[in-house]
Amino acid sequence: MIKFLDLQAQYQVIKPEIDEALQDVLDNSSYILGPRVTDCENKFAALCDVKHAIGVNTGTSALHLSLLAHDIGPGDEVITVPLTFVATVAAIMYVGAKPVLVDVEPDFYTMDPEKVEQAITSRTKAIMPVHLYGQTADMGAIMALGEKYGIPVIEDACQAHCAEYHGRRAGSIGAVGCFSFYPGKNLGAYGEGGMVVTNDDRIADKVKMLRDWGQRDKGVHECLGYNYRLEGFQGAVVGVKAKYIEQWSEGRRSRAALYADCLSGHGVAVPKVRSGCEHVYHVYAVLVDQREKVQEALASDGVQTGVHYKLPVHLQPGYSQLGYGKGDLPIAEKVASQTLSLPMYPELKDEEVEVVSERLALALKAL
């Protein structure tokens, strides 16, 4: 049986450091924020090459607070993509703004800048690209649009810890970057966690205040705030893992290279890497025909796979109020119907990549 994800394999490697860090939180009773969270914020800021990193309780909260810090609310529009985890779109709805969805590029499955320009109106208050599967969107073109129209870019980098766009780290290019430390993410906590990164002092100050009940000074609530603080245990885990993330990203890239090798000539669309970019393969997604059938065949052959995402957000039953229908965003819909995520983690063995590839090729041949 080859697992889709194996969190134990990684824990076993770093167990002594993790256990010690967690014990330290217990010894200090610093369960919420505290020194381990500050340490993890400093390390993450350095990794992203930004001035400020503010730990929050989830990636969703990072998105929510980034929108609030830009005073985005009812009557405003935010441009994003349908091929993402629902949280991207939900965060826009949480602040009462209207998500305006644009289609993705056929090669990289990220926001198509040409579609963005067509969607800009006088009400557009932010552009929110998603660095899907661990690869950055076309940030050069998106930032150029943001500058041309005076609209801030909020990066959903929840899948792209340490990914790069022309030498710049994901999350550090726009006005603000949002990360998730959900356990299955490339840099995962052992519970929920997230981070907002920015070079803007004013935005950093606002996010800090908003995550902690609107307090700058304890006991003085300057605005309507939230209980979105990062826990000490999660800060401790992320702080330990920060040291390994670059090496783990390398591991993922070498797994991806081996997959591409093994799968060539078998009718599988393997991920394309945008020129000048460093992909971090949060998800190794291939496109296949008859995805459900292929997934079942692999499962019965002992290979676990995933799907990211079965339905684009605009076709999710709970998001019908957005007013989109089938056929409105055809590239996202096509990718969603064909995408299949293969096992991908740095600890995955060469033989396992070979076995998965072999069985996928067989399943496709048998269609």
Ligand X SMILES: *Cc1c(COP(=O)(O)O)cnc(C)c1O
Under the criterion CB under 6 A, does residue 116 sit at the interface with ligand X? no
Question: Does 137 participate in binding ligand X (rule CB under 6 A)?
Answer: no
With CB under 6 A as the contact rule, which of the stretches 5-13, 58-66, 218-226, 253-261 interacts with ligand X?
A: 58-66
Closest CB to ligand X among residues 84, 305: 84
Look up residue 168 and give its two tokens.
């710049």
Instruction: Report the residue number, 58 or 124, with the smaller CB distance to ligand X.
Output: 58
Least distance in angstroms from the C-beta of 123 to ligand X = 23
Strand partners, 139: none
End-to-end CA distance of the chain: 22
Contact flag: residue 58 with ligand X (CB under 6 A): yes
Residue 129 is a binding residue for ligand X (CB under 6 A): no
Q: How are beta strands 194-198 and 52-56 bridged, if at all? A: antiparallel
At closest approach, how far in Å is the CB of 290 from ligand X?
26
- The span of 65-73, 152-160, 218-226, 242-250 binding ligand X (CB under 6 A) equals 152-160
Least distance in Å: CB of 227 to ligand X? 15
Nearer to ligand X, 159 or 295 (CB): 159
Site string for ligand X, 72-111 (x = CB under 6 A): ------------xx-xx-----------------------
Q: How far is the CB of 194 from ligand X (least distance, A)?
A: 5
3-state secondary structure the chain: CECCCCHHHHHHHHHHHHHHHHHHHHHHCCCECCHHHHHHHHHHHHHHCCCEEEEECCHHHHHHHHHHHCCCCCCCEEEECCCCCCHHHHHHHHCCCEEEECCECCCCCCECHHHHHHHCCCCEEEECCECHHHCCCCHHHHHHHHHHHCCCEEEECCCCCCCEECCEECCCCCCEEEEECCCCCCCCCCCCCEEEEECCHHHHHHHHHHHECCECCCCCECCCCCECECEHHHHHHHHHHHCCHHHHHHHHHHHHHHHHHHHCCCCCECCCCCCCEECCCCCEEEECCCHHHHHHHHHHCCECCECCCCCCHHHCHHHHHHCCCCCCCHHHHHHHHHEEEECCCCCCCHHHHHHHHHHHHHHHHCC
Q: Is 156 in the site for ligand X (CB under 6 A)?
A: yes
Q: How far is the CB of 226 from ligand X (least distance, A)?
A: 13
283 is an interface residue for ligand X by CB under 6 A: no
Smallest separation, CB 85 to ligand X (Å): 4
Q: How many residues contact ligand X, by CB under 6 A?
A: 15
Question: Of 128 and 262, which CB lies nearer to ligand X in the complex structure?
Answer: 128
Q: Are strands 154-156 and 176-180 parallel, antiparallel or unpaired?
A: parallel
Taking CB atoms, the residue at the shortest distance from ligand X is: 59
Question: Should residue 312 be labelled a site residue for ligand X when binding is judged by CB under 6 A?
Answer: no
Q: Which is nearer to ligand X, 105 or 192 (CB)?
A: 192
- Least separation, in Å, of the C-beta of 225 and ligand X? 18
Q: Is-contact 205 176, C-beta < 8 A?
A: no
Binding test (CB under 6 A) with ligand X, winner from 55, 82, 174, 194: 194
Give the residue, chosen from 159, 249, 305, 357, that forms a contact with ligand X under the rule CB under 6 A. Answer: 159
**Which residue's CB is nearer to ligand X, number 63 or number 363?**
63
**Closest separation between CB of residue 52 and ligand X, Å?**
19
Q: Is the dihedral of CA 101, 105, 109, 111 positive or negative?
A: negative
Residues that bind ligand X (CB under 6 A): 58-60, 84-85, 87-88, 130, 156, 158-159, 180, 182, 192, 194
